[in-house]
Structure formats: C-alpha cells, structure tokens
Amino acid sequence: MKKLFGALVVLTGILVLGACGNGGSSSTGSSSASGSADNQLEAIKAAGVLNVATSADFAPFEFHALIDGKDTIVGADIDMVNEIADRLGVEVNILDLDFNAVLTALQQGKADIAVSGISATDERKQTFDFTDNYFTPEQKLVVNKNNESTFDSIESLSGKKVGAQKGSIQEMIVQDQLADSQLVSIAKVPNLVNELKQGSIDGLVLESAVAESYVAQNDDLVITDVALEASEGDSYAIALPKGSTELQEELNSILKELIEDGTIDEYVQKNTDLANENAAQ
C-alpha cells in the first residue's frame, strides 16, 4: 500500500511538471493571432500585425495631432514602432489606452508589445520583459509662471497639491521626494496640464522632453529648477510579455541601430516640433 502511494506521488509529480512546461511556453506565445507559432516573434510575423499598447497623451513620444485635417496618433515612439514593423514586414495596430491600462493590456495578451515612454523599473521587470533602454529622461517639476518664485524648492510645496499621471513612476516621485505635498493622480497628461493652468493643483511632475513639449505649448507654464532625483529605472524601454526571448533579441538589435545612428534623437526632435506646430494651429 505504501509503495503504491509512493508511486502515485511520483507519477503526479511528473504530470504536474510536464503541465507546467507546456503551459509556460504556450501561454507566453498566445498574445498574437497565430497559435501555432512557437515564439512571439514568429507569431507576430505570421499574423502580419504588431499590436502596440500605448497612451497617446505624452508629447513628443505619443500624442494626437491633426495631420491633413485628420486626427492621427503620432510621436517618437510611434515612428520607432513603424520602423520596427517595417523591418519585421508587418503592419502596426495601435491600442490607445489610459496609461494605467497599458501594461495590463500587455499582461492580458491584448497587445504584443507596449510602447509608451515606459520606464523599465525593477518592479515592472518582475512582471514583464523589457528591451534595452532607448531614452533617458530627467524628472521635472512644472508650475504656473506666476508662481515661479513661490515654488522654487521642495519645501515650498509642502502642503501643496502636486499632480502626477495615474500609474506612472511620477506618482512615486511625488510620494518619495515631495513627501510633504499632496499627490493628485489623474489618468491623462493633458488633463493634468489643464488642472495646473486652472490652479486646482500647484505643481506637476513630468519627464523632461514631455515637460518641455507641454511648456512650449502653454506659455503660462514653466519648468522649475527644483532638483528631483532620477534613477536608473526611469529610462524608457519597450515592454514585452515574460519569456519573449526571440522578440526581445530582434527588437534589441533594431533599437541598437536606431540609437547609435541618432535616429531616435531625430524622432524626438521632429515630434517636439510637430507637437508645437500642432498646438499653434
């Protein structure tokens, strides 16, 4: 009887292990249309479409602009994604979501990759794979121009309302570095900018290129010299489902070229100009 029981335990163990192995590989490959492909890269190529989750409220990386009178999602990340898709020989399908839903969509298999100025933090790396970094931002505090001399230090914002995008690392920056301020989280960056302009919040934490773009579009706002600390995990990378080794390698080799030959910097510059022209229209 004891022997039989022992054998059963061993057998069950083998079955469970086997199931885990299969489950692991098929679930990581399930995000794209093609179920037969054995890795994400092949699945995307077979489907002919790269499904990209983003939050198009983040000029110059992803934002809405009127192009020939038509509402279009544009930006440095979008140019980068289009170039990647060209090289893979596939079309792009953009899913425009609130930022706090972007990584969830990736996790649920609704997108193949997430490209949204996403900071590759250690915490996020526990759930997702990331490519190499393609852009390193600084953290900036934006205020109304007429408050520029009032809000010139971390202490000056004590007890004041400081905004950050919901689900972004800027929420943590407010909580950690402006610990005596009151965090106000809002889903969309343009709404945060409006709240600031209307004075319902006193400051707003944004990343450098984004802060510069919105300040250029709103001459009543200014970027302060308040020193916020940046950390290594702030840099932007493309997020992938866990275990996307082939896709990750392919994207890294494309990114390497685009970074080294200055293409990414060009995309950022070009789209900063585009955002300003569009706002001026």
Binding residues (CB under 6 A) for ligand ARG: these are 55, 57-58, 62, 99, 116-119, 165, 168-169, 189, 207
The residue sitting closest to ligand ARG, measured at its beta carbon, is 58
Q: How far is the CB of 104 from ligand ARG (least distance, A)?
A: 13
Which is nearer to ligand ARG, 47 or 142 (by Cβ)?
142
Give whichever of 118 and 186 is closer to ligand ARG, judged by the CB atom.
118
Task: Provide φ and ψ at 161, rounded to 5°.
Answer: -90, 125
CA angle 213, 217, 136 (to 5 degrees): 5
**Nearer CB in complex with ligand ARG: 31/235:** 235
Instruction: Kindly tell me which of 123 and 257 has the beta carbon lying closer to ligand ARG.
Output: 123
29 or 137: CB nearest ligand ARG: 137
Q: How far is CA 101 from the centre of its chain?
A: 10
Nearest approach, Cβ of residue 270 and ligand ARG (Å)? 18
Least CB distance to ligand ARG at residue 142 (A): 14
CB nearer ligand ARG, residue 47 or residue 120: 120
Q: How far is the CB of 4 from ligand ARG (least distance, A)?
A: 55
Query: How buried is 103 (Cβ within 10 angstroms: 0-12 exposed, 13-18 middle, 19+ buried)?
Result: buried
Place of tokens 């006193």: 202
CB of 185 to ligand ARG, least distance (A): 12
Inter-residue contact 55 to 269 (CB < 8 Å): no
The least CB distance from residue 12 to ligand ARG, in Å, is 43
Q: What is the number of alpha carbons within 13 Å of residue 37 lying toward its C-beta?
A: 20
Largest CA distance in the chain: 84
Report the first-to-last Cα separation within the chain, whole angstroms.
Answer: 84
- Other Cβ atoms less than 10 A from the Cβ of 153: the count is 13
Evaluate whether 129 touches 248 at the Cβ level (below 8 Å): yes
Coil, helix or strand at residue 76: helix
Cα–Cα distance measured from residue 167 to residue 121, given in angstroms and rounded to the nearest whole number: 13
Closer to ligand ARG by Cβ: residue 34 or 72: 72
CB of 137 to ligand ARG, least distance (A): 7
Distance CA 269, CA 100 (A): 26
Instruction: Provide CB contacts within 8 A for 5, sequence distance 6+.
Output: none
